[in-house]
Amino acid sequence: MSAEVKSVNNHILPHGELDGFIRKLSKKMKVVAPVAKEAGNFAFQEVSGASEIALKYVPTVLPPKKYFMPQREKMLDFDLTGAQPSDKAVIDAPELAVFGAHTCDLAGIQCLNMVFSERPRDYNYLLRKEKIFLIGMECNDYCDENASCALVNSHMPSGGYDLFFTDLGDRFMVHVNTQKAEEIVEEMGLAKASPADLAALDKVRERKRSVFRNEIGVDPRKLPEAFAKGEKSKVWEDLGARCVSCGNCTNVCPTCYCFDMADNVDLNMKTGSRNRTWDSCQFETFASVAGGENFREARSERQRHRYYRKFKYPLDKFYRFFCTGCGRCTRTCMARINLKETLKGLAKETV
Amino acid sequence: MTEEIKNSNWRLRKGKIIAAKQMTAAEKWFDIRLEDGSLDHEPGQFVQVELYGVGEAPISVCSSPTKRGSFELTVRAAGRMTNAMHKLDVGDYLGIRGPFGRPFPVKVMAGSDLLFVAGGLGIAPLRSLINYVIDNRKDYGKVDILLGCRTPSDMLFGSEIGAWQKRLDVNFLCTVDRGAPDWRGNVGLITTLIPGVTIQPERTFAVVVGPPVMYKFVIAELLKKNVPERQIVLSLERHMKCGMGKCGHCQIDHPKNYYCCKDGPTFTYDEVKASKKL
């Protein structure tokens, strides 16, 4: 592809103009971006200018899935005052721009998109997704040693965004991927990228290829075999012995989407709502039934299940891993359960 | 897209209880009419029942689709929601979603002999199929019904079972785990009834519904009788929370990534024998 053709969708935003960009964007819609918090943590939250944003950050505590699939989401309002109960479907899906999502998190949203657009479709999710303007941010280097994005090939951009920023030192390369993004870039008056800019981008990518290397030393093409053979592996017993079933790993996972439904009655005891909340397969009662049976009673079974939901089942159904290599589960685990070590251990035992 | 939100699978249809009866100490039966038309279910499917303010639970439809105008549920008071549901009576309203799930393979089974094996509350989902078969009796071969429950007082659908017993076109046998002073029938586990039934295994579908613990033993007996694995049909129990194959609760630990609510709850034994637990 010639540089000229490629530049059609590539624009330039000098570092000094990022603040203006965010300010203008925040006049149009709410803008959220990674912000530094205590103890080296980061979180997506509302911003109004570039100075609030952490441009280099270790993946946020919660991934941007919290905007696509809120931790608590009202689905229905009901009213019990009449002769018979009445209800109304509700959705609160405001226009929103998510700025600075890493490629691992973009991949996570792509996974969720697959799940919720599979029939029967989940329109609550899809409507919310439609309202979110997604701006990605490339990682030129590893965030920390817990990431395994090269293993699952999510360290490079592969769609799933409206705009995508790559830091070229004193300016950002801005890739425009959608019509909506095109309009915004036009309105902001971003300059087209020059052949020199594109060469600089190539250089960043070239360098990345040598920096980002398979983090576990096991060919990802071997993982399906490892999981096919590894149902009874001792790694699950080891994980089960350490896991405290807190559910942190699934909460912070960009591709975990299991949920529970619950009714809440208002204090007046007349009105209330049905709500969808995040749930975790790591909780003891997740797979139990009212009759008393628990289909995943042991912690080892539940941990094993989590890994199979990332590396086995979605491969058959959606032809991809549902691990994006963000490293969050490892960072958050109180029992120091480490995804990279688990995969290495499983592979060593099985393939 | 707000129309889609309103008409999505989360939409609750209003169901009015038109009849209700306490069947045993633990089980209550409800006859429900939808305000906006028929449920249009198939035997073996389930609905999500919403008790406004309390929550939702998946319940098997226990009536045959050949019964028109309303559908029936038999509910054991086992959890918070089902205990609250037992307080409902004629005239009360429920929210209904569904029907959900893969039904019993009524068309595949047409022309074959049928051996029904029900344990405990398993008779509820199986009753939707048994009554369907009785109402379409000429489409099926020989029909045997085996029923097991804990004690005579746990037996569900007593008067209907009496009618099955009197019919000449079905063979009905039942047993209880523990007898009672006035009980003159069989005493023993459901598995004890199977050896005595005469079947032609190659032309028989065995449909087995009961608590998870029952499956292993009943399936072993059926395999001893040479019933092919793909002609053993089960209805598995899981806690389906969404009914759409998304919430994750009912996923079966099986290499094929089955969701009980969507790929099941009915499965043939050869489909699910690789599962860790049935």
The CA radius of gyration of chain B, in Å to the nearest whole number, is: 18
User: Is residue A257 over pLDDT 50?
Assistant: yes
| Partner-chain contact A279 B249, CB within 8 Å | yes
What was the pLDDT predicted at B6? 85
User: Is residue A309 over pLDDT 90?
Assistant: yes
| Domain-embedded: residue B222 | yes
Across A273-290, average pLDDT: 96
| Partner-chain contact A259 B247, CB within 8 Å | yes
CA distance to A56, A282, B21, B91, B240, per residue, from B29 (Å): 61, 35, 5, 14, 21
| Partner-chain contact B56 A76, CB within 8 Å | no
Say yes or no: B70 and B142 in one domain.
no
Of B8, B82, B249, the CB nearest to A287: B249
What was the pLDDT predicted at A308? 97
Please give the Cα distance from A131 to A133 (Å, whole number). Answer: 7
Chain A residues whose beta carbon lies within 8 Å of the beta carbon of residue B51: 263
What was the pLDDT predicted at A280? 97
B55 pairs with which residues across the strands?
B51
Say yes or no: B92 and B128 in one domain.
no
| Domain-embedded: residue B246 | no
Given B78, B100, B122, which residue is the final one in a domain? Answer: B100
Say yes or no: B6 and B89 in one domain.
yes
Q: Cβ distance A137 to A165 under 8 Å? A: yes
Say yes or no: B36 and B71 in one domain.
yes
Of B12, B78, B276, the CB nearest to A87: B12
Say yes or no: B79 and B192 in one domain.
no
Interface test with B, best of A68, A123, A232, A265 (most B CBs within 10 A): A123
| Partner-chain contact B1 A123, CB within 8 Å | yes
- Report the b/e string of A267-279 with b at 16+ CB within 10 A: eeeebbbbbbebb
Say yes or no: B129 and B151 in one domain.
yes
CA distance B98 to chain A (A): 12
Given B100, B116, B149, which residue is the final one in a domain? Answer: B100
The CA radius of gyration of chain A, in Å to the nearest whole number, is: 22
What was the pLDDT predicted at A291? 86
CA distance B151 to chain A (A): 17
B59 Ramachandran zone, left/alpha/beta (phi>0; psi -120 to 50): beta
Interface contact B36, partner A, CB < 8 A: no
Say yes or no: B131 and B191 in one domain.
yes
Interface contact A334, partner B, CB < 8 A: no
CATH of the domain at B144: 3.40.50.80
Q: Cβ distance A34 to A54 under 8 Å? A: yes
Please give the Cα distance from A307 to A294 (Å, whole number). Answer: 19
CA distance A199 to chain B (A): 43
Interface contact A267, partner B, CB < 8 A: no
Give the domain range for residue B190: 106-235
Of A122, A291, A317, the CB nearest to B246: A122
Question: ipTM, 2 decimals?
Answer: 0.92
B169 Ramachandran zone, left/alpha/beta (phi>0; psi -120 to 50): alpha
Interface contact B136, partner A, CB < 8 A: no
CA B38 to chain centre: 19
| Domain-embedded: residue B264 | no
| Partner-chain contact B237 A289, CB within 8 Å | yes
Q: Which residues of chain B have pLDDT under 50?
A: none
What is the full DSSP assignment across A113-143? HHHHHSSSP-HHHHHHHHTEEEEEE--SS-S
Say yes or no: B75 and B175 in one domain.
no
CA distance B134 to chain A (A): 29
What is the full DSSP assignment across B237-248? ----SSSSS-SS
User: Is residue A4 over pLDDT 50?
Assistant: no
Residue of A nearest to B54 (CA): A263
Say yes or no: B25 and B126 in one domain.
no
Main-chain phi, psi angles of B186, to 5 degrees: -70, 145
> Which residues have a Cβ under 8 Å from the Cβ of A70 and sit 6 or more positions away?
none
Percent of residues, chain A, with pLDDT higher than 90: 95
DSSP percent split of chain A into helix, strand, coil, nearest 5: 40, 20, 40
Say yes or no: B142 and B230 in one domain.
yes
Q: Pick the closest to residue B41 from B104, B135, B94, B123 (CA basis).
A: B104
> pLDDT grade, residue A3 (50/70/90)?
very low
DSSP B8: S
What was the pLDDT predicted at B166? 93
Per-residue pLDDT reduced to its tens digit, A313-343:
999 999 999 999 999 999 999 999 999 999 9
> Within 10 Å of residue B167's Cβ, how many Cβ atoms?
13
Main-chain phi, psi angles of A105, to 5 degrees: -75, -30
Interface contact B217, partner A, CB < 8 A: no
Interface contact B10, partner A, CB < 8 A: yes
| Partner-chain contact A295 B253, CB within 8 Å | yes
What was the pLDDT predicted at B276? 84
| Domain-embedded: residue B31 | yes
Q: Cβ distance B231 to B206 under 8 Å? A: yes
Per-residue pLDDT reduced to its tens digit, A36-53:
999 999 999 999 999 999
| Domain-embedded: residue B242 | no
Say yes or no: B110 and B231 in one domain.
yes
| Domain-embedded: residue B263 | no
Say yes or no: B113 and B228 in one domain.
yes
Per-residue pLDDT reduced to its tens digit, B103-122:
999 999 999 999 999 999 99
| Partner-chain contact A287 B14, CB within 8 Å | no
CATH of the domain at B91: 2.40.30.10
Chain B residues whose beta carbon lies within 8 Å of the beta carbon of residue A286: 248-249
Interface contact A287, partner B, CB < 8 A: yes
Total domains in chain B come to 2
Please give the Cα distance from A179 to A67 (Å, whole number). Answer: 22
User: Is residue A95 over pLDDT 70?
Assistant: yes
| Partner-chain contact A293 B257, CB within 8 Å | no
| Domain-embedded: residue B271 | no
Which has the higher per-residue pLDDT, B276 or A144? A144
Q: Packing angle between helix A179-188 and helix A18-28, nearest 10 degrees?
A: 120
Of B11, B53, B239, the CB nearest to A89: B11
Q: Pick the closest to residue A142 from A56, A34, A52 (CA basis).
A: A56
| Partner-chain contact A293 B76, CB within 8 Å | no
Please give the Cα distance from B205 to B200 (Å, whole number). Answer: 10
